[in-house]
Chain A
Amino acid sequence: MTKISDYLSKSAVENIQAALARAEETSEYSALLSLTKERAMERAYAVDSGEITGRLAGVPFVVKDNFLAYGAPTTAASKFLQDFYTPLQATAVEKLEAEGAICIGKANLDAFAHGGSTENSAFGPTKNAHDKSRVAGGSSGGSAVVTALDVVPFALGTDTGGSIRQPASFNGVYGVKPTYGTVSRFGVVAMASSTDTIGCFATCAGDAELVMDIMAGRDERDGTTLPDFFAPETVKPGQKIGLIKEFMSDDVDQAVRQRTLEYVDRLKAAGHSVEEVSMPMVKYALPMYYVIVPAEVSSNLARYDGVRYGTRAEGVKSLGELYGKSRDKGFVDENKLRIMVGSYVLSSGYFDAYYQQAQKARTLLIDEYRRLFDEYDVLIGPVAPTTAFKLGENTDDPVKMYLADIMTVPASLAGLPSISVPAGVDESGLPIGVQLTGWRKSDANLLALAKSMEVTE
């Protein structure tokens, strides 16, 4: 797979033409919803003429289609926004463009980022880069696949409960979910405001580090961004690492456990210490997540009413009917389910038993992490219990689908940085990722550690 440095030595026009051609060549994967050809070529000429410069001058990238970006509609893979052209861009996109990077297209996702397989896209599922009969993972499936297929050296995604890490694992690329508040969420379609994060996919840890370094930072337009803290580090020797016992049970695919243990052996050989740790609260992370996130989804998605933007249902007579019908037609089933679960857990009589209880449980989960990170630098485990599953395998049962996120939601609920690192394949050649998680603001350490562990070919 290509790296950012492979592009820096070539002309931007050549890079962009090659990326667009590769995107068309791989269209059968349905990884991209649109190409931003015209704008990308304009910017490429501007890079070659020296008008645009920067650390990523002429490097092509793709954004998940829930980022506001010029040159194509921002659909969030929904019918609601299928014709929505943004009048402004996301901060993350602006920052990359300021360094000369060139967006060539917008990647498929589960509609409004609700899902773990990209099968909830209103425009059809994305196929896995290694096996077209299998899912890409999700919700940032398209971004993971274009990175794995070498269309672009990096792509942007959002991770609310695993939406970067899990597809990264399923497609054999790096995926970074930063500390909550590292990258501005301004201009990104909101899902669950208390766990939404912006991150990236890349083919090596060094590239992911560079992209995060550019995107990170305080933004006045997102009040939850943290003061600037991200800065690339060199790896700290002799780190103390905890292997999460609960994620290594018999319920987890044998190959997944095996690759994780091999990575652990390599960490030990590199002079780090690894010991088993227990996190009893992770058992409750999924139920917590599926109370808190739908609650936030139900309020964030209230804005889609067919009035100020998006698609409006035809032939309606009243304002109430306009809202109700536009929302029924604009959302996919999983959007409706999550909105209604949110309405359920927030409704009077249930608020304490579900919503408040989940937020209290979240405190207990965070306390558990805090105690472990008093002693350990990093926690390790698999990213997902399986490799990529078959298309259609889990679509009839939402809870079964949610189980694919069981190892990624805990860090999201606690706002912790967590990255997915390629760690080999199973017997069918399907990729497996390991997950490195750290305490808040230790993002750079995770990337430095992953970089130090890379096998140089």
Chain B
Amino acid sequence: MSRIIDYMTQISNEDVLRLAQLSSLELEEGEIETLRTHLEGVINHVDELAELDTEGVEPTYQVTDLQNVSRDDTVIDYGVSREQLLACAPDQQDNSVKVPKVL
């Protein structure tokens, strides 16, 4: 059954903040309005999809028909040392990545 769009999706500032929270983005006040307008524009554009009748159509998540690609559970040596990887982290201590207190 096809649906006809007869409304505009509205995005509120609260929606923006909720999405930002879901996305782990701590937005600054000044960013909210532009993001709200842009989000509304994109969502209204993609709303066109609702016109399509997709009853009984299977979704495609993977285009080359691969299924459950598995590999042996063995250690592969990429030639990268623990020290090299730790050096990428912004803060390290005692051979570990350091972060602020969690609890």
Enumerate chain B residues within 8 angstroms of A358, measured Cβ to Cβ.
46, 49
Enumerate chain B residues within 8 angstroms of A331, measured Cβ to Cβ.
25
Bound state CA distance, A181 and B42, in angstroms? Answer: 29
Partner pick for A317 among B23, B24, B85, B100, CB 8 A cutoff: B100
Partner pick for A223 among B19, B22, B63, B71, CB 8 A cutoff: B71
Indicate if the CB atoms of A224 and B43 lie closer than 8 Å.
no
Bits for B6-19, please: 1 = Cβ < 8 Å to A, else 0: 00000000001001
Interface of A is mostly: helix
Partner pick for A318 among B39, B76, B101, CB 8 A cutoff: B101
Q: Could you count the A-B residue pairs with CB atoms below 8 Å apart for me: how many are there?
A: 180
Indicate if the CB atoms of A360 and B101 lie closer than 8 Å.
no
Indicate if the CB atoms of A340 and B26 lie closer than 8 Å.
no
Closest to B84 in A: A87
Minimal beta-carbon separation of B6 from chain A (angstroms): 15
Enumerate chain A residues within 8 angstroms of B71, measured Cβ to Cβ.
220, 223
Asked whether any CB of chain A lies closer than 8 Å to the CB of B62, the reply is yes
Closest to B81 in A: A87
Bound state CA distance, A392 and B29, in angstroms? Answer: 24
Asked whether any CB of chain B lies closer than 8 Å to the CB of A321, the reply is yes
Indicate if the CB atoms of B63 and A194 lie closer than 8 Å.
yes
Which A residues have a C-beta under 8 Å from some C-beta of B? Answer: 84-85, 87-88, 179-181, 194-195, 220-221, 223-224, 226, 284, 286-288, 290-291, 294, 298, 302, 305-312, 316-325, 327-328, 331, 333, 336-337, 339-345, 347, 353-354, 356-364, 366, 397-399, 402, 413-415, 440
The 9 closest A-B pairs by CB, nearest first: A324-B26, A415-B63, A359-B59, A360-B54, A312-B90, A309-B88, A223-B69, A87-B84, A360-B57
Indicate if the CB atoms of B61 and A194 lie closer than 8 Å.
yes
* Residue with the greatest number of chain B CB neighbours at <10 A, chosen from A84, A341, A345: A341
Q: A290-B45, A308-B88, A327-B25 are in contact. Are A337 and B64 (CB under 8 A)?
A: no
Partner pick for B35 among A322, A336, A366, CB 8 A cutoff: A336
Minimal beta-carbon separation of B81 from chain A (angstroms): 8
Q: A340-B16, A415-B64 are in contact. Are A286 and B80 (CB under 8 A)?
A: no
Asked whether any CB of chain A lies closer than 8 Å to the CB of B60, the reply is yes
Asked whether any CB of chain A lies closer than 8 Å to the CB of B33, the reply is no
Minimal beta-carbon separation of B2 from chain A (angstroms): 11
Indicate if the CB atoms of A337 and B39 lie closer than 8 Å.
yes
Indicate if the CB atoms of A308 and B89 lie closer than 8 Å.
yes
Interface of B is mostly: loop
Indicate if the CB atoms of B24 and A323 lie closer than 8 Å.
yes
Indicate if the CB atoms of A333 and B34 lie closer than 8 Å.
yes
* Residue with the greatest number of chain A CB neighbours at <10 A, chosen from B25, B58, B76, B80: B25
Minimal beta-carbon separation of A333 from chain B (angstroms): 7
Partner pick for B24 among A305, A316, A341, CB 8 A cutoff: A305
Q: Could you pull out 12 A-B pairs where Cβ atoms are within 8 angstroms? A: A290-B42, A291-B46, A333-B34, A337-B39, A343-B19, A343-B23, A357-B54, A360-B57, A360-B58, A363-B59, A363-B60, A440-B64
Bound state CA distance, A286 and B69, in angstroms? Answer: 29
Which B residues have a C-beta under 8 Å from some C-beta of A? Answer: 16, 19-20, 22-28, 31, 34-35, 38-39, 41-43, 45-50, 52, 54, 57-64, 66, 69, 71, 76, 78-81, 84-85, 87-91, 97, 99-102
Indicate if the CB atoms of A354 and B46 lie closer than 8 Å.
yes
Enumerate chain A residues within 8 angstroms of B62, measured Cβ to Cβ.
194, 224
Minimal beta-carbon separation of A262 from chain B (angstroms): 32
Enumerate chain A residues within 8 angstroms of B80, measured Cβ to Cβ.
87-88
Indicate if the CB atoms of B20 and A340 lie closer than 8 Å.
yes
Indicate if the CB atoms of A398 and B41 lie closer than 8 Å.
yes
Minimal beta-carbon separation of B36 from chain A (angstroms): 10
Partner pick for A398 among B42, B49, B61, CB 8 A cutoff: B42
Closest to A286 in B: B45
Indicate if the CB atoms of A316 and B100 lie closer than 8 Å.
yes
Bound state CA distance, A325 and B90, in angstroms? Answer: 14
Minimal beta-carbon separation of B14 from chain A (angstroms): 13
Enumerate chain A residues within 8 angstroms of B48, measured Cβ to Cβ.
284, 287
Enumerate chain A residues within 8 angstroms of B102, measured Cβ to Cβ.
318-319
Indicate if the CB atoms of A327 and B26 lie closer than 8 Å.
yes
Minimal beta-carbon separation of B12 from chain A (angstroms): 13
Minimal beta-carbon separation of A247 from chain B (angstroms): 18
Closest to A397 in B: B41
